[in-house]
Amino acid sequence: MKIMICDDHKIVRDGLRQILQQLHGVSVIAEAGSGDELLDTLKTDDFNIVLLDISLPDRNGLEILQSVKVKWPATNVLMLSMHPQEQYAKRALALGASGYLTKDTASEELLIAVQRVSDGGKYISQSLAENLAFSFSKGEKKQDHEILSSREFEIMIKLANGKSLQEIANELFISNKTVSTYRSRIMDKMEFHKNTELTRYCMEKNLI
């Protein structure tokens, strides 16, 4: 089993490496500190599993997930995030992720998830499985925010949390003008006029 860890914090990568070394059959544990570094590495080497952080400094993890699944569809991607699963899990799974775990997951659950994914299966938490089953049984229609792109969705969450355009630009390493353009797109698609409407919607949908 060859595993790639993609996270911009070395202390997180070190911690994950220490946990993953407990698995039998692991031959390689490689690391990448950014989405672009991950994609460059995948051009020259194959991995069974990629542990991919959603919040990366250069590109959104969901965008990286899409790129990986298009270029290397056989690569299993297990998403890791500090965000609650309700925010990103369904979107990640729809884009081809093999599983979704929050960073406060116990090490035992991480090992189970990696083993299951390496065997070709999928892994989601019990609470998320129940949530998805409930949504399916009710025949819920697509929610408004699901029409947003991965980057638009990420910026919507930041705006709803009260972050300024400049703060978002700094976090995502893009220009203030680019963030403003994304905001306009989000407002048009969601048919909102003010950030307060965006915040109210995200709170009602348990996105923040």
Q: Residue 196 pLDDT more than 80?
A: yes
The pair of structure tokens assigned to 204 is 């009602």
pLDDT over 80 (residue 32): yes
- Is 90 exceeded by the pLDDT of residue 55? no
pLDDT of residue 132: 65
Burial of 146 (0-12, 13-18, 19+ CB in 10 A): exposed
pLDDT in tens, 165-184: 999 998 888 899 999 999 99
- What are phi and psi for residue 133, nearest 5 degrees? -65, -40
Q: What's the pLDDT at 56?
A: 83
Q: 125 or 79, which is more confident?
A: 79
Torsion sign, CA atoms 131, 132, 133, 136:
positive
Main-chain phi, psi angles of 70, to 5 degrees: -75, -45
CA distance 180 to 155: 10
Q: What is the mean pLDDT of residues 8-32?
A: 93
pLDDT in tens, 58-108: 777 888 998 999 999 999 999 998 876 666 788 888 889 999 988 888 899
Q: Per mean pLDDT, which range of 26-40, 99-113, 185-199 is the poorest?
A: 99-113
| pTM reported for the whole predicted model | 0.74
Domains and CATH numbers, the chain: 2-137 (3.40.50.2300), 144-204 (1.10.10.10)
Structure confidence at residue 9 as a pLDDT band (50, 70, 90):
very high
pLDDT of residue 197: 94
